[in-house]
A and B are shown apart, each in its own frame.
Chain A
Amino acid sequence: MLELRNIHKYYNPGTVNEMCLFEDFNLTINQGEFVSVVGSNGSGKTSMLNIICGSIPVESGQILIDGKDITRVKEYKRNQKIGRVYQNPSMGTCPSMTILENMSLADNKGRFYGLGRGTNKARIDYYREQLAQLGLGLEDKLHVKVGSLSGGQRQAMALLMSTMTPIEFLILDEHTAALDPKTAELIMELTDKIVKEKNLTTVMVTHNLRYAVEYGNRLIMMHQGHCVMDKAGKEKEDTSIDEILTMFNEISIECGN
């Protein structure tokens, strides 16, 4: 279970440009939930993910995982239990290293990176198998540098790499936004498959309302640092895209844009 309690977040504190993003923001995400988060630009979606992962500090409030306070825990330590895929496909892989080296690197996540052989030969067949399920033909290109792959291929690898070791939370930050519609569809299906297989608690920020409705079992709409819509389970299943779109238009009119 992941909890955000009374989060206060300001940008540029103490200057004339001070901007309050979160004022007493609360959110609880239960074990096994797949939460889709939608909202206009600047509504705090990505900031929320950054706060969960520890990429940005908060002014006050608590972040808890299974009741344990991790507010002061550094980002890299939190990543032991968190996997994250970014919007930019090149953020999740190493371009100058080969596919095999990238897979080996990810396979060792959370363990000690010592002077042992970088690639465990006994695991190569497993990597091949994992890559084969992507259906992109990457299993035959193990010694190709990741930098020469397409954005979709890289994003698929990033997804695979971030979920390779046992993690509890998967954070998806508009991870299909930079891809063409067909590849985006493929990555979304793959995401759903991995999340179900590994039973991961997932938070997905997306601008694609259809994905938000179709995937996951909870939907949150954010606006100016607040959750203006929060539907889970049966209630979410009964929600249509039109309903969300209407809500979206309402909050946009309030803003005057």
Chain B
Amino acid sequence: MSFAVSILEQGLIYGILALGIYITYKILDFPDLTVDGSFPLGAAVTALMITKGANPYLTLPVAFAAGVAAGICTGLIHVKCKVRDLLSGIIMMTALWTINLRVAGTANVPLFSQKTIFKNDTLDKLVPSGFSAYSTLLIILIIALIVKIILDLYLNTKSGYLLRAVGDNDKLVTAMAKDEGNVKILGLAIANGLCSLAGCIFCQEERVFEISSGTGAMVIGLASVIIGTSIFKKISFVKTTTAVLIGSIIYKACVAIALKNFEPQDMKLITAVLFLVILVLSMERKKKVKKNAGA
């Protein structure tokens, strides 16, 4: 049971990250590697605030804001300095490594004895003792759902329409008398805000800040997006954001099951192979669809 709970917890936390990557990869069509830095950025900000004794719930908006700032930087590098999308992300990811170390102080900050959003006095009073094993999952679920619903609402606003248009056809955004560059920056800001928020929750759940926690975050998020969107492609009533969250849980389950039979140091290889399999499978589907359409 605790195995399943931990998969759901991890899946939903990385689901928030995947929602961010869904914005850059699917909506903006921008391969954004900033994620590998903005995920631990959220964690670093959180570690700093919590060790300084700040209210743990305050870490959520602050981490989001930090991610937004990182996203804006990537956007400015890409749009104003005209650096290629992939390189802009790599530049910010590299820069963030140092920034994260500076913010957190060291490469490893334990938070075992500190108050977090999952363990504090108010919560201890509220949650019945028999339920405490699930309280972490419940809190993560609530946050993930709130993020998902707000994102759904946002994508149906005027600003959201413009964001969806820019990845699809940036000429149209220009035709609507709007600067496409600014819309891209906005998208990157929201996406990295979400990634940083995921990092914030992750670090409180794990009760430790690790500088290397962001390595491969992009791959995990991307795999989740691809799993989610290819499974639910045919089912139109499932919103893409829901599909992405479920995709993330499925991905974490696959990794957890694989890890049961392997050593922890095999983790990255398993991740890579899994990602490759998912990519190839989703391409296979596309090919079939094309063939059918041609016949």
- A residues with a Cβ closer than 8 A to B are 74-77, 79-80, 83-84, 86, 90-97, 101, 104-106, 108-110, 112-119, 162
User: Which of A76, A84, A92, A114 is within 8 Å of B157, CB to CB?
Assistant: A114
Residues of A contacting B168 with CB < 8 Å? Answer: 94-97
Residues of A contacting B124 with CB < 8 Å? Answer: none
Determine whether B176 belongs to the interface, using a CB cutoff of 8 Å to chain A: yes
CB-contacts of B171-186 with A (<8 A) = 171-180
- B residues with a Cβ closer than 8 A to A are 154, 156-162, 164-165, 168-169, 171-180
Q: Give 23 pairs: A residue, B residue, CB < 8 Å, sorted on A.
A: A91-B171, A91-B172, A92-B172, A92-B175, A94-B164, A95-B168, A97-B161, A97-B165, A104-B161, A105-B161, A105-B165, A108-B176, A109-B177, A110-B177, A112-B158, A113-B158, A113-B176, A114-B159, A116-B157, A116-B158, A117-B156, A117-B158, A118-B161
Q: How far is the CA of A90 from the CA of B171 in the complex (A)?
A: 10
**Inter-chain residue pair count (beta carbon < 8 A):** 82
Residues of B contacting A110 with CB < 8 Å? Answer: 176-177
Report the minimal beta-carbon distance from B163 to chain A, rounded to whole angstroms: 9
Beyond A113-B159, A118-B156, A118-B158, whether A105 also contacts B179 by CB under 8 A is: no
Q: How far is the CA of A110 from the CA of B158 in the complex (A)?
A: 12
Beyond A79-B174, A92-B175, A97-B168, whether A113 also contacts B180 by CB under 8 A is: no
Determine whether the beta carbon of B154 is less than 8 Å from that of A115. Answer: yes
Report the minimal beta-carbon distance from B230 to chain A, rounded to whole angstroms: 16
Report the minimal beta-carbon distance from B237 to chain A, rounded to whole angstroms: 13
For residue A77, which residue of chain B has the nearest CB? B177
Residues of B contacting A117 with CB < 8 Å? Answer: 156-158
Residue of B160, B165, B173 with most partner-chain A CB within 10 A: B165
Report the minimal beta-carbon distance from B292 to chain A, rounded to whole angstroms: 15
Determine whether the beta carbon of A76 is less than 8 Å from that of B158. Answer: no
Determine whether the beta carbon of A105 is less than 8 Å from that of B157. Answer: no
Q: How far is the CA of A115 from the CA of B157 in the complex (A)?
A: 5
Residues of B contacting A96 with CB < 8 Å? Answer: 164, 168
Residue of B159, B160, B172, B180 with most partner-chain A CB within 10 A: B172
User: Which of A93, A112, A113 is within 8 Å of B161, CB to CB?
Assistant: A113
Residues of B contacting A79 with CB < 8 Å? Answer: 174-177
The 6 closest A-B pairs by CB, nearest first: A113-B158, A79-B177, A80-B177, A118-B161, A94-B168, A113-B162
Residues of B contacting A112 with CB < 8 Å? Answer: 158
Q: How far is the CA of A20 from the CA of B162 in the complex (A)?
A: 38
With A114-B157, A118-B156 given, can you name 16 additional A-B contacts, CB distance below 8 Å? Answer: A75-B174, A76-B177, A76-B180, A79-B176, A83-B175, A92-B175, A94-B169, A105-B161, A106-B176, A108-B158, A109-B175, A114-B159, A115-B158, A117-B158, A118-B158, A118-B161
Residues of B contacting A109 with CB < 8 Å? Answer: 175-177
For residue A112, which residue of chain B has the nearest CB? B158
Report the minimal beta-carbon distance from A127 to chain B, rounded to whole angstroms: 14
Determine whether the beta carbon of B156 is less than 8 Å from that of A105. Answer: no
Residues of B contacting A115 with CB < 8 Å? Answer: 154, 157-159
Report the minimal beta-carbon distance from A198 to chain B, rounded to whole angstroms: 17
Residues of A contacting B173 with CB < 8 Å? Answer: 76
Report the minimal beta-carbon distance from B68 to chain A, rounded to whole angstroms: 16
Residues of B contacting A74 with CB < 8 Å? Answer: 179
Determine whether the beta carbon of A76 is less than 8 Å from that of B174. Answer: yes
Residues of A contacting B159 with CB < 8 Å? Answer: 113-115
Q: How far is the CA of A113 from the CA of B166 in the complex (A)?
A: 13
Report the minimal beta-carbon distance from A47 to chain B, rounded to whole angstroms: 17
Determine whether the beta carbon of B164 is less than 8 Å from that of A97. Answer: yes
Residues of A contacting B178 with CB < 8 Å? Answer: 76, 113
For residue B179, which residue of chain A has the nearest CB? A76
Report the minimal beta-carbon distance from B200 to chain A, rounded to whole angstroms: 24
Residues of A contacting B180 with CB < 8 Å? Answer: 76
Residues of A contacting B169 with CB < 8 Å? Answer: 90-91, 93-95
Q: How far is the CA of A117 from the CA of B175 in the complex (A)?
A: 21
User: Which of A94, A108, A113, A114 is within 8 Å of B172, CB to CB?
Assistant: A94
Residues of B contacting A97 with CB < 8 Å? Answer: 161, 164-165, 168
Determine whether the beta carbon of B157 is less than 8 Å from that of A118. Answer: yes
Residues of B contacting A101 with CB < 8 Å? Answer: 161, 164
Q: How far is the CA of A94 from the CA of B168 in the complex (A)?
A: 6
Q: How far is the CA of A188 from the CA of B156 in the complex (A)?
A: 34
Residues of A contacting B179 with CB < 8 Å? Answer: 74, 76
